[in-house]
Chain A
Amino acid sequence: MSAGITDIAVAKPREVIENDHFTSIGLTDEWIRRRSGIAARSWLPDKTPLAEVAAEACAPIVTRMPDPSSIGALIVISTSIDRRVPGLAPDVAERTCLGPGVLAFDLNAACCGFVYGLVTALSLCDAGRAGSVLVCSVEAMSRLVNRADRQTACIFADGSAAVLVENRPEFSAFRHTAGCDGTQQALMREEAGGIRLDGMQVFDRAVRRMSESARYLFDSDPAPTVVVGHQANGRILEQVRAFTADLGVPFVNRIERSGNTSSASIPLAFAEELAGGTLPTAGRLGAVAYGAGEAWGGVAVDYRITDDVIAP
């Protein structure tokens, strides 16, 4: 008996921003595609509360559960949190009608947040400390960037995705690697003018960290059947794909119509693959991420999705 993923759902903003939106700041469709592999991204309306979006992602999962009271913990992951006191998690818990006994808390590990949150959820579940754990990433990165900044405005995007973590007799133990190198905090930082990136260093380190994390996940059986990397930039993803080609499993790149949704990018991309039928509804997910901090990590986890995955 081990913990794994048994359900997934998403909430994606309706407003799609095509590349021609950025001609006003001197960026062309061709340049953005070449630089990032991105053709479009979705942005939330400025006033929409993140808790509302997160609850939209979580609600179908809670509704589909025969006994929602078995949810012992709710982890809401966000870098772009729009409220600090109280945090997002209590609001999401209330909106999804979770009882007062739920261990609900926020987590921020930038673009690596989903890996950190999933490892935490799997650990709680495996230890028998929570029956089921709901893990929800929600981001409005469009609110953190300077929309006139040519380096970041076209890259970042918004969205939410949630997964349910439960114990199942057929699941193998999860495996993870994760860490944080605080000496590299300056590589990605929030300043008065928005998010700033040291592009070349971030590219180089993201490729290395995600490739190394993916490779670690294949060091023991069972190996992942698919790898989903943080959808940071299409060029980074293709380089990681090249560096890990010998691992011989599909490597997911869904950034073209999604952009970089920070911590939400892995579950959103995973859900899109499942909804599109390109991945089987059962297998072993290898999720690898790299983000500000610098936080990095990877987790291999069994999944068996029994409900229809709602197409993002």
Chain B
Amino acid sequence: MSSFESLVREAMLSQLRRRDPSLGPADLDRPVADLDLDSLDLVELHQRLETELKVKGDLRETAGFAFLEDFSTYFTKLASRE
């Protein structure tokens, strides 16, 4: 796992635990629909990852992600380009 990917997963878990403190690393592999997240949680996650990684993502793209893994892949790729 790259350092960017670790950073992304750590930030994602931290953000998700604001909603449900019992979530663990294994939950990052679950579909978004299976987690107790609403659409604003996903915007907050998007903004959190942008801030942590100092990149600018496209919310119209990330809003459609079905898996948290997709966020990880998307933002890891963005950060690697910087």
Residues of A bordering B, CB below 8 Å? 34-35, 199-201, 203-204, 207, 235, 239, 243
Given contacts A201-B59, A204-B59, A35 and B47 within 8 Å (CB-CB): no
CB distance from B58 to the nearest CB of A (A): 11
List, sorted by A's number, 7 A–B pairs whose CB atoms are closer than 8 Å. A34-B38, A199-B40, A200-B39, A200-B43, A204-B59, A207-B47, A235-B44
Which residues of A are found within 8 Å of B51, using beta-carbon distances?
A: 243
A239 near B39: Cβ-Cβ < 8 Å: no
B46: A residues at CB distance < 8 A: 204
Which B2-16 residues sit within 8 Å CB-CB of chain A? none
In angstroms, Cα B46 to Cα A34, docked, is 19
Which residues on B sit within 8 Å (CB–CB) of A199? 39-40
Residues in A whose Cβ lies below 8 Å from that of B42: 200
By DSSP majority rule, is chain A's interface helix, strand, loop, or mixed? Answer: helix
Which chain A residues border B40 with CB–CB below 8 Å? 35, 199-200, 203, 235
Number of chain B residues whose Cβ lies closer than 8 Å to a Cβ of chain A: 12
Give the CA-CA distance A235 to B18 in the complex, in Å.
13
- Compute the total of residue contacts between A and B using a CB distance below 8 Å: 25
Q: Mark B16-38, 1 if CB is under 8 A from A, else 0.
A: 00000000000000000000001
* Residues of the B chain whose Cβ atoms lie less than 8 Å from the Cβ of A243: 51
Contacts of A35 in B (CB 8 A): 38, 40
Residues of B within 8 A of A207 (CB): 47
Indicate if the CB atoms of B47 and A239 lie closer than 8 Å.
yes
Contacts of A34 in B (CB 8 A): 38
A35 and B38 CA atoms in complex are apart in Å by: 8
The interface residues of chain B lying within 8 Å CB-to-CB of A204 are 43, 46-47, 59
* Residue from B42, B43, B59 with most neighbouring chain A CB atoms (10 Å): B43
| CB pair B44 A239 closer than 8 Å | yes
Q: Closest approach, in angstroms, between the C-beta of A243 and any C-beta of chain B?
A: 8
Interface residue B66 (Cβ < 8 Å from any Cβ of A): no
Which B residues touch A239, using CB under 8 A?
44, 47
Alpha-carbon distance A239/B46, docked complex (angstroms) = 12
Chain B residues within 8 Å of A203, by CB: 40, 43
A35 to B46, CA, bound (A): 17
CB distance from B70 to the nearest CB of A (A): 16
Residue pair B59, A200 in contact (C-beta under 8 Å): yes
Contact residues in A for B60 (Cβ distance below 8 Å): 201
B10 to chain A, nearest CB (A): 18
Closest CB in chain A relative to B72 CB, distance in Å: 19
Bound-state CA distance A204–B60 (Å) is 11
Residue of A whose beta carbon sits closest to that of B38: A35
Give the complex CA separation of A204 and B44 in angstroms: 8
Are A200 and B44 in contact, CB atoms less than 8 angstroms apart? no
Contacts of B38 in A (CB 8 A): 34-35
Shortest B5–chain A CB gap in Å is 24
Nearest chain A CB to B50 CB, angstrom units: 10
Tell me the complex Cα distance, A34–B37, Å: 11
**Residue in chain A with minimal CB distance to B59:** A204
